[in-house]
Amino acid sequence: MTTIFDTPEGIDFFQLAARKGALKLEIAGLGRRGQSVYSICKEAYGLKGSRAKVLDQMEAMVETKLKPKCPFGTHFHPASKTVCNVEPCENCGGDTQAANALTLYNPEDFNLVIVEERLPESYYSEEIDGCACEDCI
């Protein structure tokens, strides 16, 4: 099976995976001329630490990018196990939980943003003919 990386995100992912592999080889003792892969990775991704720690961080980055996007939303609140999309309140501009949030029991299977505090729900308001948060209605 052939995989084609023809989007900016795909190219960035391939570059990350290639640099991770090159760093693994450098740690194993394979050298190269010019700048080390270790320093290239630290500079490109803003990483800190030893070669092994930078490799661990890069492996975590690859693993995160390999997880599929959740089809139900982008954000997850652990205490309530709620997954939702986030949209701005049309009145105050604050983040709100978009309609159709649902409970998700295996969030680690998806690439989600974890939110510490549950977002206010948005409601349709006839006054502004759009969605607004609980505080604005």
Based on the fold, state whether residues 17 and 58 are members of the same structural domain.
yes
Instruction: Evaluate whether residue 12 is within a structural domain.
Output: yes
Instruction: Evaluate whether residue 127 is within a structural domain.
Output: yes
The helix-helix angle for 37-45 and 8-28 (nearest 10°) equals 140
Instruction: Evaluate whether residue 28 is within a structural domain.
Output: yes
The mean pLDDT of 30-45, rounded to a whole number, is 93
User: Which uninterrupted H or E stretch holds 96?
Assistant: strand 95-97
The mean pLDDT of 76-81, rounded to a whole number, is 80
Contacts of residue 63, Cβ cutoff 8 Å, sequence gap at least 6 = none
Whole-structure pTM value? 0.54
Q: For residue 52, what pLDDT is reported?
A: 95
Based on the fold, state whether residues 57 and 82 are members of the same structural domain.
no
Distances (CA, A) of 51 to 4, 46, 77, 130: 30, 13, 34, 51
Based on the fold, state whether residues 96 and 53 are members of the same structural domain.
no
Structural domain span for residue 20:
8-66
Instruction: Evaluate whether residue 2 is within a structural domain.
Output: no
How many domains does the chain fold into? 2
